[in-house]
């Protein structure tokens, strides 16, 4: 917030707090604050302004319930865990709401994918350039995109249309490619900033004290997410900062990397589908002919039994040769 809170913000916060709730740690019921007492509200407002100016507050306020008033823009969820799952779920709910408002008048025409990109996808992927995503969260976003595009294009699940074909019909990039594009553009923009800017300090900041746990620790943005993104787009992780200094060169590198990434994704999907079809077209299992043993001429239906028997017979022969026994029939008849 650039400006101190106003009396309108204060009254708005009081209206958002519902009456009839349990008392907080201060044992003060909400009805006292919401009561039409101008003197109490003025004193409380003066206290808030004093806290704003001094940037310090009493320890008892640390246990208070804070109501966030968003001055402008969209809401971002801050959690104690270093994951973006809550933020992704919030963006999906907002995109569902946007799609529902436009569905009756626009998307029933089954041809306006441009509006879908401009309105729904922009709502879904708001602030995606700073997300630290896992594969499960990317699949959730891709599932939402496929669901809405199939509704717009009137594609039923009975038609067995692949996700790649749906994206080609709508002339829309995949969610993962769009996130990679925004992430790399923001990384280059932050790198070109002045060192005193806060986004650049956060991007290049590191924790001075502490160790990461063993196993699979939480994914970091610059060290893990950004390096993985650079590898997917065939951009050197050691030379990307030098390339990002020139804005036009950096954008060309991003566009070329995204095009190569989507092409490789289509080839991998086609390879997986071909392998699945080959597995389905294989003839059913037929029993193989019996396998004879080279030492005792015994027949085996499984190669495992043949291997075990052959190994034991071979060891017996080796022992007999070592002992220099002439009559081997005794051992072979066992």
pTM: 0.60
How far is it, in rounded angstroms, from Cα 221 to Cα 204?
10
Same-domain pairing of 230 and 194: yes
* Percent of the chain scoring above 70 in pLDDT: 75
Per DSSP, the three-state class of 160 is: coil
Integer CA distances (angstroms), 304 to 179, 281, 286, in order: 51, 28, 17
Same-domain pairing of 259 and 191: yes
Range of the domain at 310: 291-332
Same-domain pairing of 258 and 304: no
If one counts the domains in the chain, the total is 4
**125 domain residue, yes or no:** yes
What integer pLDDT is reported at residue 72 of this predicted model?
A: 46
Encode burial over 6-18: b for 16+ CB neighbours within 10 A, e otherwise: eeebbeebeeeee
Q: Using one digit for the tens of pLDDT, what is the confidence trace for 225-275? A: 999 999 999 999 889 999 999 999 999 999 999 999 999 999 999 999 898
Q: Using one digit for the tens of pLDDT, what is the confidence trace for 23-33? A: 665 666 666 66
Same-domain pairing of 104 and 122: yes
How far is it, in rounded angstroms, from Cα 99 to Cα 115?
10
Same-domain pairing of 269 and 194: yes
Same-domain pairing of 27 and 114: no
Give the position of tokens 């080839």: 267
Integer CA distances (angstroms), 303 to 25, 78, 299, 308, 332, in order: 73, 60, 10, 9, 21
Same-domain pairing of 103 and 154: yes
Same-domain pairing of 222 and 274: yes
How far is it, in rounded angstroms, from Cα 300 to Cα 96?
62
Among residues 150, 187, 199, 193, which one has the least CA distance to residue 170?
A: 150
């Amino acid at each position: 917030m650039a400006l101190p809170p106003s009396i309108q913000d204060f009254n708005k916060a009081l209206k958002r707090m519902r009456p009839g709730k349990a008392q907080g740690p201060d044992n003060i019921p909400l009805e006292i604050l919401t009561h039409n007492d101008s003197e109490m509200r003025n004193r409380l407002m003066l206290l808030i302004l004093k806290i704003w100016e001094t940037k310090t507050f009493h320890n008892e306020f640390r246990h208070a319930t804070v109501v966030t008033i968003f001055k402008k823009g969209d809401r971002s969820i801050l959690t104690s865990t270093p994951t973006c799952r809550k933020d992704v779920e919030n963006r999906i709910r907002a995109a569902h709401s946007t799609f529902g408002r436009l569905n009756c008048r626009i998307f029933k025409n089954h041809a306006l994918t441009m509006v879908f990109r401009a309105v729904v996808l922009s709502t879904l992927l708001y602030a995606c350039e700073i997300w630290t995503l896992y594969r499960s969260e990317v699949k959730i976003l891709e599932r939402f995109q496929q669901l809405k595009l199939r509704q717009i294009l009137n594609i039923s699940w009975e038609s067995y249309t692949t996700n790649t074909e749906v994206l080609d019909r709508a002339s829309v990039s995949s969610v993962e490619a769009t996130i990679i594009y925004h992430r790399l553009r923001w990384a280059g923009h932050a790198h070109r900033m002045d060192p005193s800017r806060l986004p650049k300090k956060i991007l290049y900041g590191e924790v001075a004290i502490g160790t990461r746990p063993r196993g699979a620790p939480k994914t970091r943005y610059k060290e893990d997410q950004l390096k993985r993104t650079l590898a997917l787009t065939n951009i050197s992780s050691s030379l990307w900062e030098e390339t990002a200094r020139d804005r036009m060169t950096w954008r060309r590198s991003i566009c070329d990397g995204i095009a190569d990434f989507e092409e490789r994704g289509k080839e991998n999907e086609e390879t997986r589908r071909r392998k699945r079809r080959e597995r389905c077209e294989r003839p059913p299992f037929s029993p193989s002919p019996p396998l004879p043993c080279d030492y005792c001429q015994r027949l085996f239906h499984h190669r495992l039994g043949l291997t075990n028997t052959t190994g034991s017979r071979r060891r017996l022969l080796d022992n007999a040769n070592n002992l220099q026994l002439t009559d081997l029939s005794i051992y072979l008849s066992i």
